[in-house]
């Protein structure tokens, strides 16, 4: 009977160890998935920053050459950099559309 109790106690210990291992494995997999998600967010942010620098650099070059920014230029910056929809030009004061 003593062997039976010891066997059951060890079996219970093994079950507890397996449960702890599974919890740790799940936590490890979650951390790995979160790390991948963070890496993806960083890559996306860097790509947006590069697009922003490119489009604003082009706009700055145009201004340095003495030209004015057009609504199309602003829309290009909005769309390429921020993913925003284009804005519609408003009619000049005193003119109807």
Question: In this structure, what token pair is assigned to residue 9?
Answer: 């106690």
The residue behind tokens 């942010």 is 45
List, for residues 40-81, the tens digit of each pLDDT value. Answer: 999 999 998 898 899 889 899 999 999 998 888 888 888 887
The Cα-based distances of 82 to 4, 19, 62, 71, 87 in angstroms read 69, 47, 20, 16, 13
> Residue 80 carries which DSSP code?
I
pTM confidence score: 0.57
> Residue 95 carries which DSSP code?
-
Judging by beta carbons within 10 Å of its beta carbon (0-12, 13-18, 19+), is residue 83 exposed, middle or buried? exposed
């Amino acid at each position: 009977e003593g062997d039976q109790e010891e066997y059951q106690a060890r079996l219970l210990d093994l079950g507890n160890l397996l449960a702890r291992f599974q919890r740790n494995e799940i936590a490890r997999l979650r951390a790995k998935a979160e790390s991948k998600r963070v890496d993806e967010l960083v890559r996306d942010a860097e790509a947006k920053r590069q697009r922003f620098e490119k489009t604003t650099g082009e706009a700055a070059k145009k201004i340095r050459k003495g030209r004015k920014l057009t609504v199309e230029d602003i829309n290009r910056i909005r769309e390429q950099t921020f993913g925003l929809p284009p804005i519609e030009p408003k009619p000049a004061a005193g003119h109807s559309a």
